Structure 1
Amino acid sequence: MSAARGVVLYGPPTAGKDTVTTALTGLNPKYAQFARLKVGAGKSAGYRMGTAEQLHELEAAGDVVYANARYGNTYAIDRPGLKVAFEAGVPVVHLGQIDGIRALVDGYSADWAVVLLWCPREVTEQRSAGRGDSDTAARLAAWDATRDDLNAHPDMTWDLTVNTTTAAPQNAARLIDQLLAQRAGAASA
């Protein structure tokens, strides 16, 4: 039996994680964005909204693979959620921290394709303003944190790097799909 396959998309805000995931899903419905557990307020689309009590229960059971705080909320990747996502197809996990990638890859057994989506800071500012974000300053701070995270982990290796200012989302999706197909072929050889 081959290992379950998943995709990790890492990058700063507005680098295209949502857009590339939508393109992946359009390419093949087996792909689906992993809905992290979110404890807090604000945007609920793309998340499983939860309570602090639910998060504490998952932590007590050892079922939190990774959690982080940003924008005044807590976001968690949990084992029960991942199990459901893998049963449904190929989860696409969005992360903005290399420690999160390492926790996921080391803490949940699967064949993870780790993809860096990148755009310059000024592009993040333009895209954030263009989509009407009310928290562009916080997104720029997150962009700075992502750059600092990359600089702090020069040993991080990527299975694929895509500059989303030059690659269309559909092209990025095709590259990711091809990467997974190649890995599946190599695993079965």
Structure 2
Amino acid sequence: MRPGVLLYGPPAAGKDTITAALVALDGRYVPFTRLKVGGGKTSGYRMGTPEQLADLEAHDDVIYRNERYGNVYVVDRPGLEEVTGGGGIPVVHLGQMAGVQVVGDGFPARWACVLLWCSRQSTAERSRQRGDADTVARLAAWDATQADLAAHPHARWELRVDTDTTAPAEAAKRIDTVVRAAVPRS
């Protein structure tokens, strides 16, 4: 079964930064670009329309969708198939435990589930440093992520990384070790 990485954590925990470090470590890692329907930041997303979303839903190709910041974010089957079909290892960013469960169960892969964590203060500082106009909403999402984790005390993580104390390159090496250990040798 093909490998994949699910990165879960609050806003500004380092999902983009660690994904970039994974790509630098091994070019087979491919950042999964979720489909986004709405406005705001476009970088790192495949921007879509309500009609495209309806078409994906009609064909049962939406694996997971969530709404946050007034937008709809989608993990779709065709997008994941495109990455894995080319031999890539998708790196999917999620901010809800439900997403980790649904994507993990809904798309055939050996998913390495990784919890990235940072303090609330770090989320605030990183959000301001990167110029987010919605830092208050990101802090509310941090609170929701903490509550989400507390509601799922038995969640299984192959790896937990505190991004306040772990450099991105080190986090990437640790994730890569977990992914390689899960892939059967031929």
The residue that corresponds to 1:145 in the other structure is: 144
Match in the other structure for 2:164: 165
Alignment partner, residue 44 of structure 2: 46
Structure 2 partner of 1:90 = 89
Give a deviation string over 1:96-118, Cα, whole Å, max 9, x none: 00100100011111100000000
* 1:104 has 2:77 as partner: no
CA RMSD, 1 decimal: 0.9
- Supply the AA of the counterpart residue of 2:185: S
Q: Secondary structure at the match of 1:12?
A: coil
TM-score under structure 1 length normalisation: 0.96
> In the alignment, which residue of structure 2 is the partner of 1:67?
65
Deviation string 1:61-115 (CA, Å, 9 cap, x unpaired) is 1110000000110000111111001123101000000100100011111100000
For 2:127 and 2:61, the matched residues in 1 are separated by 33
The answer to whether 1:136 aligns with 2:135 is yes
Give the letter for the 1:139 counterpart. R
1:120 paired residue number: 119
1:15 equivalent in structure 2: 13
Deviation at 1:144, TM superposition (A): 0.4
Cα drift, residue 32 of structure 1: 1.2
Amino acid at match of 2:60: G
SS in 1 for 2:133: coil
Q: Could you list the runs of 5+ residues in structure 2 that have no partner in the other structure?
A: none
- State the number of aligned residues: 185
* Deviation string, structure 1 residues 121-164 (Cα, Å, up to 9, x no partner): 01111111122211100000000010010011111110000000
Distance in 1 (CA, whole Å) between partners of 2:135 and 2:78 is 33
Within 2, Cα distance between the matches of 1:168 and 1:103? 29
Which residue in the other structure is 1:177 paired with? Answer: 176
Q: CA deviation at 1:188?
A: 3.2
Aligned-residue offset at 1:60? 1.2
Q: Percent identity?
A: 56
- Three-state SS of the structure 2 residue aligned to 1:188 is coil
Moved over 2 A (4+): none
CA distance in 1, matches of 2:47, 2:131: 23
